[in-house]
Amino acid sequence: MRSGKYAGSSSGPKRTKFGPKKSYSSDRAGSKSDVPAGDRPKKSFRNYSEDDRPQKSFARKSFGKDRFDRRSDRRSDSRFESQSEEDISPDLIYGRHAVEAAIETGRSLNRLWVNAKLHYDSRFRPLIATAKANGSVVDEVENMRLSQMTQGASHQGIVAQVSAYEYVELEALVEQAKSKARRPVLIAADGITDPHNLGAIIRSAEAIGAQGIVIPQRRAVGITSTVAKVAAGALENLPIARVVNLGRSLEYLKSNSFWIYGLAAEAAQPIHTTDFSAPVVLVVGAEGSGLSLSVQNLCDQLVAIELRGKTPSLNASVATGMALYEIYRQTWLKKLPMLTREKQPEGSVEASKLERLDS
C-alpha cells in the first residue's frame, strides 16, 4: 500500500505536500557549502596599502557654474607668488609713486582702481580729482581685486590703466640731451632682462641727473608694469630710446661727440681715476654675462669699480648708481671753489688737528 513517504533510504529527498524539496546550494558559485571553512575570499581592499586607498577631498563643494567662478577668483596673495610678474598687462601701472607721477605729468590714464583707504585719503584726494577732470574713470575696489590685477605684487592700494609707453627716437634723445646739459650723460643697457634692475637703473639715472637711457629691442626687457613700479615715477621724467641694434646706436652716439665707457669688473682702469669731462655714454651689462664682446669692442674705454671685500661683483643697478655718482662727482668738484686753511697758532687744538690730517 502506498504511503506519503518514499520506501527507500531515509537519506533521499523528502516528500512534501507540493513534491520533493529542491536544493539551491549547488547552483550558487562560491557559496558557503562549496568553500571550506576558513578559506573564504578576502575583501579586495585588504590587498592594498594605505597609499592605494582613494583620498577623500575636503574641498568646499560649489553649486552652479557662476558660484564656482566667483570662488575660483578669491585667491590669497601667496598664490600669486609663483606667477611671473611679466604676466601683468603692460598697460597697467601700480604703486603710489608711479601713479602720482603719471597724473602729475599729464599722462593719459584710461581708468583708475583704488581701495577705500586711499580713495578717501585727504592727501591723495586732489590727485584723484585731477584724474577725474582729465577724463579718467575711478573705481573703488577691494584689495583682492587689485592683487588679481597685479598678480600679487605690491600695489599699495592703487592701479591705473595707461596708454602704451612712448619711446623716443635716438636722434631726438641726443638733441634733448645736448639741449639740457653741456656735458650730457646717457645710459645704455646691454642685455638687461630683469625688470627690477632696469627700473632701479632708471630711478638712479633720473635722480642723479642723467639725460636719457638707450635699451635694445631684442634679448632685453622693455618698459613693463614692474619697471614702472620700481622706477617710482622716474619713468615720467626720463626719456628712453629703444633701438633695433645697440652696436649701431653706439656708433651713432660716437659720431655725435659722445665717449663710450663700459662697466666691466675685469677692466684695468679704475673708474675713480677716469676723466669724464666729455659727453658720456655709460654702458651697463647684465649680471653674470656682463657686456657682450661686440659692445666691449665699441667702447672707448672699459672701467671698473674697485671692490675691497670678498663679494666678486655688484648688482647691475647698484653698479650703475655708483658709476653715475662718480661721473657727476667730478663735475660737482670742478664747480666748487678752492678751499684754503688759515694758519693756526702753534699749540692750539686746531693746529694739532691739521697736523694729524696732513700726516
Residue 352 has pLDDT above 80, yes or no: no
For residue 13, the model assigns a pLDDT of: 54
Position 41 pLDDT exceeds 80: no
Confidence of residue 324 (pLDDT cuts 50, 70, 90): very high
Give yes or no for residue 185 having a pLDDT over 70: yes
> Residue 84 and residue 152: Cα distance in Å, rounded?
10
Instruction: Read off the pLDDT of each residue in 171-200 and give the average, rounded to a whole number.
Output: 93
CA distance 296 to 278: 19
Mean pLDDT of 37-65: 51
More confident residue, 151 or 14: 151
On the 0-12 / 13-18 / 19+ scale of CB atoms within 10 A, 335 is exposed
Mean pLDDT of 276-305: 91
Backbone angles phi and psi of 110, in degrees to 5: -75, -40
We find that the CATH architecture of domain 83-162 is 2-Layer Sandwich (3.30)
Domain spans of the chain? 83-162, 170-335
| Entry pTM | 0.59
> What is the SS3 assignment for 270?
strand
**Cell digits of residue 76:** 590669497
> Where does 170-335 sit in CATH, by number?
3.40.1280.10
In this prediction, residue 6 has a pLDDT band, given cuts at 50, 70 and 90, of very low
The grid coordinates of residue 24 equal: 539551491
Count of Cβ atoms closer than 10 Å to residue 357 Cβ: 8
Mean pLDDT within 53-61: 51
Rounded to whole angstroms, how far apart are CA atoms 200 and 91?
20
Q: What is the pLDDT of residue 158?
A: 84
Question: 113: pLDDT confidence band, cut at 50, 70 and 90?
Answer: confident
Q: What is the pLDDT of residue 64?
A: 44
Within 8 A by CB and 6+ apart from 153, the residues are: 80, 85, 88, 94, 147, 225, 226, 229
| pLDDT tens-digit series, residues 12-26 | 555 555 555 555 554
pLDDT digits (tens, 9 = 90+) for 237-272: 899 999 999 999 999 999 999 999 999 988 889 999
How does pLDDT run across 131-149, given as a tens digit for each residue? 888 777 888 888 888 888 7
Say if residue 66's pLDDT is above 80: no
Q: Of all residues in the chain, what percent carry a pLDDT higher than 90? A: 30
Average pLDDT over residues 72-93: 49
Residue 62 pLDDT class (50, 70, 90 cuts): very low
pLDDT of residue 139: 84
